[in-house]
Structure 1
Amino acid sequence: MKELKKYSGETILLLSMNKLLHLIDDEFQSQNAAKCDLFIHLGFETIQYAILDKVRDELKALVEYELNAAWSPISLIEAIKSLPECEKEFKYPFNKIKISFDSYQFTFIPKELFTEGNVLEYSKFIENTDAADVLCKPIPAAKIQNIVKINSDLHLALKNIFGEALILSQANAFIQGISKYYLQSNEASFFIDIHGKHIQIAYFENSNLLFYNIFDCVNADELNYFILNCIETLGIDVQNCSVMLSGKVVKDDQSFQRVEKYFDAIQFTDSSLIVKHPEKFNEVLKHSYFPLISLDQCE
């Protein structure tokens, strides 16, 4: 456990982090960074990053750290700064840097109803948060604008650490990725992204986004509740709806078993559709980091 430090008169406990995954191509060097993009996801439970070579169209790095405690924005900033990559890889001159962060504080505005000058008015639909900045990022595939709040200290720290990075919420990458690679215009599609303590759910009909949300979800029984609630509330015809899974789920685990209680057509997303995975990354299930790698679809 790391030492206690003072910040703005408050004592905070810096997060220690377990390294869950660390795969970096032996050929990747700082001089190659200019042709690569860096993608980072700040999750509720983990920090993930990937490096994509945009010239060769292949994955160069995939790394994940586990956050060992419930984090505050300030402790998350300190955790990011404590990563060894902050002294090395994150300082490389990447072509682009894109950062997503998990958040419950967002609202969608349909493109046809959106007015640029009304962003602050739209943000009033979001739960009030002290010292928050408002970001407005389009999700072109769904024809919506995503208005999201981010802690002001965290937002400033990310800009100081990463410079002119694109910063957006988890919804942008998830929806863009599945819209690009998995929607069929004549069918209903149900997408579930499963993690240790939360899930994302998106539902489409005729390629149109009808529902998206992110929920606290700590076990398979809670997942079962959310699936059943979506089926009933959205009127999903389970016999004629495909299901795609991503995140921390494998065939026949408890989460998968809850899904197959209701659906027959179940598949896993595949991030190698977005970027080639060299042999070094074969040990990684290609659906596990689909939302992270889907940042490639965001601009």
Structure 2
Amino acid sequence: MNYISEKFNIHFLPEYTLSAKAGFSKDVIAVTDKQLNLNLLLEYDAENPKLDATQILSLPFRYVKVVIPHQSLTFIPKEVFQEDRLSEYAPYLVEHVPNHIHTYEMKNLGIVAVFEYDLILYNRWKALFPDAEIFPEFCIILDQAQDLVPIRGSVLGVHFVSDHLVDLYLFQNGQFMLYNSFDVHFADDLNYYILNIIQQFSLTDQVSKVLVSGEIPNDTYRKCLERYSTTIAHLESKSKAHINKDIEGINFKKYNTLFDAILCE
């Protein structure tokens, strides 16, 4: 994907917001103005960015918001979470390094997420934009999902982080139950992890709804998900960015977390 609007003008840089979705193999960046008009959308190899991308990333944007996948994650009920005792949560994370632990309160769910970013991605973007606001991707996913979760029934969420990494989450009767990440290389891998969740929570073979987000690698994954529900819904951005008609043919569903970075605070 390579789109730059004729209206994009570096003289308006102080009014633009640069949003980025950091990935392990590819990055996606977008530039919107105050009216949420999309002025630029670029997808490129993270290790070998194209010239257009390097030129955009060299500009001194005032507002920069970056969405980064988490490396490890745990959830603590809000009523027992203690900010001054973060070191006690370190054993639940991969790196066990207190200085790299971040928190994010999810008020609607009554929980605090304690997590680590992938440090390679985090440091790369902090080197480019030291003052950038950085947000974990899971917080956007769960925020979008809540509007589609019924009070009754079970909802399975499947977010394709990359070609080989999938986040699975579960709501049961409106209650948040689980969020975890899995290495997936084939549709059979995804099927295995979903079956484990179904058994763990004593669910029936069919859930009320499957929520899908991200870029599905191929149709075998889609067919796998169709086994588990007659209702397949896709998460969509809440930002309502205005898209130029010339690029309406692009599948913007896979950029749902990119555009909602604009809304993060």
Q: TM over 0.5: same fold?
A: yes
1:234 correspondence with 2:191: no
2:163, 2:59 → 1: CA distance? 30
When residues 26 and 136 of structure 1 are mapped into structure 2, their CA distance, relative to the original with a 3 A threshold, is same
Instruction: State the shift of 1:257 in Å.
Output: 0.6
Deviations 1:238-286 (A, max 9, x none): 5451112122228x81111111122111122233764333313312213
User: Does 1:294 find its partner at 2:260?
Assistant: yes
Is the contact between residue 131 and residue 152 of structure 1 (CA under 8 Å) also seen in structure 2?
Answer: no
> Which residues in structure 2 correspond to 1:160-199 (within 5 Å)?
160-179=127-146, 181-194=147-160, 195-199=162-166
Give the aligned residue type for 2:45: E
Query: What residue in structure 1 maps to residue 230 of structure 2?
Result: 264
Structure 2 runs not aligned, ≥5 long: none
Unaligned runs of 5+ in 1: 1-20, 68-75
Report the AA paired with residue 233 of structure 1: Q
**CA-to-aligned-CA distance 1:71-100 (integer Å, 9 cap, x gap):** xxxxx6xx57x8653443552434x32222
- List aligned pairs for 1:1-299, cutoff 5 A: 21-53=1-33, 55-67=34-46, 84-94=52-62, 96-128=63-95, 133-150=100-117, 155-179=122-146, 181-194=147-160, 195-237=162-204, 239=206, 241-249=208-216, 253-271=219-237, 274-299=240-265
Q: Secondary structure at the match of 1:284?
A: coil
Q: Offset of 1:108 from its aligned partner?
A: 1.8
Q: 1:238 to 1:61 in 2, by over 3 A?
A: farther
Output one character per residue of 1:15-54: Cα deviation in whole Å (capped at 9) or x when no partner. xxxxxx212222122233333322212223321222233x
Give aligned-pair identity as a percent: 22
Displacement after TM superposition at 1:157 (Å): 4.8
Q: Aligned-residue CA RMSD in angstroms?
A: 2.9
TM-score, with length taken from structure 2: 0.84
User: How many Å separate the matches in 2 of 1:52 and 1:238?
Assistant: 43
